[in-house]
């Protein structure tokens, strides 16, 4: 067993009617524009699975393997954890059709839309789980298109020993600055590579700091230009990238989140218990430590806690 993430410190409290009823522990690192640690809490050097925050790096690996996309919006979708809205699904299907494939070639598991509104609409229409509805279907479509372009086998494109995954590993090592100490199977079936929060923050800073026209800069620019494709209507990543100038932001399962602004710095967060509600207040606190000051950061610094449909408390950072 490789050395793993050892856990963090209290970062977020849940206060109801003036009484603290829950506390989330976790870790966070803030690096400045030169890559030096500006602030940190918890275990920022122990490797953990970044989950979907790895997606921009995976997209870089695909582009370097020959992926060609005429529309930059498709780069955002390939890097996405989309909410399964109609415009997401239509674009995934169009990507597959562009190389003569359909959704039966996807190897991500059948799932329901990640977004609650999209899920409700699916149920109302009498629909059910499907591979194309899974939030990683854009990434899997990108992997299939890459294999088609490179002449690699379409079968088992998600296998760690497939040429595509070997190329993605090289991109991971380049942008994180280290080899993964562990390789796991992500929820979508593709490999997930372990890295500490310091390496994740550094990777995001390198991506947003790429030269114009570079592969990494193309990914960053696409995600920031089409944030609704990266996540969905009202989702954390979409809202933050839409309203904080220059911000690249991507969340992942088990309450991981990373963000960077060129010339400013980067933040990476991991909440120990995987509680999604706790990650954004910590990320916002990190962005504020970088000197960023946008109205949305004040709005997202805490989440209202309801009692009887009325606000009675808040989920807020104590870091």
Condensed to tens digits (0 to 9), the pLDDT of residues 83-122 reads 999 999 999 999 999 999 999 999 999 999 999 999 999 9
pLDDT digits (tens, 9 = 90+) for 124-141: 999 999 999 999 999 999
The Cα 317–Cα 319 span in angstroms is 5
> Which pair of structure tokens corresponds to residue 111?
């799932």
Q: Which tens digits make up the pLDDT trace of 3-48?
A: 789 999 999 999 999 999 999 999 999 999 999 999 999 999 999 9
What the block records as the tokens of 223 is 């995600």
Residue 165 confidence class, pLDDT cut points 50, 70, 90: very high
pLDDT > 90? residue 203: yes
Average pLDDT over residues 76-82: 98
pLDDT surpasses 60 at 2:
no
How does pLDDT run across 219-251, given as a tens digit for each residue? Answer: 999 999 999 999 999 999 999 999 999 999 999
Task: Please answer whether residues 250 and 258 qualify as being in contact, where contact means their C-beta atoms are separated by less than 8 angstroms.
Answer: yes
Q: Select from 245, 246, 247 the least CA-distant residue to 237.
A: 247
Helix ranges restricted to H, the chain: 55-64, 72-78, 86-97, 116-124, 137-150, 163-176, 197-208, 215-225, 227-230, 236-243, 279-289, 295-299
pLDDT value, residue 3 = 74
Beta bridge partners of 315: 14, 303
Is residue 196's pLDDT more than 70? yes
For residues 252 and 81, the answer to whether their CB atoms sit within 8 Å is: yes
- Give the number of other CB atoms < 10 A from CB of residue 318: 15
- Cα angle 106, 169, 213 (rounded to 5 degrees) comes to 90
**How high is the mean pLDDT of the chain?**
97
């Amino acid at each position: 067993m490789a050395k793993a993430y050892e856990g963090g410190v209290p970062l977020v409290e849940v206060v109801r009617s003036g009484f603290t009823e829950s506390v989330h522990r976790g870790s966070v690192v803030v690096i400045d524009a030169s890559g030096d640690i500006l602030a940190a809490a918890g275990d920022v050097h122990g490797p953990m699975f970044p989950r979907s925050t790895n997606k921009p790096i995976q997209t870089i690996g695909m582009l370097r393997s020959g992926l060609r996309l005429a529309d930059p919006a498709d780069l955002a979708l390939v890097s996405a954890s989309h909410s399964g809205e109609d415009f997401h699904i239509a674009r995934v299907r169009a990507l597959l059709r562009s190389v003569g494939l359909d959704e039966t070639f996807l190897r991500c598991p059948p799932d329901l839309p990640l977004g609650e509104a999209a899920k409700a609409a699916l149920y109302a229409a009498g629909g059910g789980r499907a591979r194309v509805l899974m939030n990683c279907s854009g990434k899997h479509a990108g992997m299939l298109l890459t294999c088609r372009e490179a002449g690699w086998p379409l079968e088992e494109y998600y296998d760690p020993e497939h040429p595509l995954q070997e190329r993605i590993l090289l991109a991971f090592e380049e942008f994180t600055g280290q080899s993964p100490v562990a390789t796991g199977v992500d929820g979508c079936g593709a490999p997930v590579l372990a890295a500490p929060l310091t390496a994740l923050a550094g990777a995001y800073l390198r991506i947003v700091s790429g030269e114009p026209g570079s592969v990494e800069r193309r990914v960053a620019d696409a995600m920031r230009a089409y944030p609704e494709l990266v996540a969905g209507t009202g989702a954390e990543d979409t809202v933050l990238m839409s309203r904080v100038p220059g911000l690249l932001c991507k969340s992942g399962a088990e309450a991981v989140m990373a963000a960077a602004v060129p010339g400013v710095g980067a933040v990476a967060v991991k909440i120990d218990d995987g509680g999604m509600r706790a990650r954004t207040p910590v990320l916002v606190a990190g962005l504020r430590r970088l000197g960023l000051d946008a109205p949305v950061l004040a709005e997202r610094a805490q989440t209202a806690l309801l009692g009887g449909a009325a606000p009675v408390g808040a989920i807020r950072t104590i870091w």
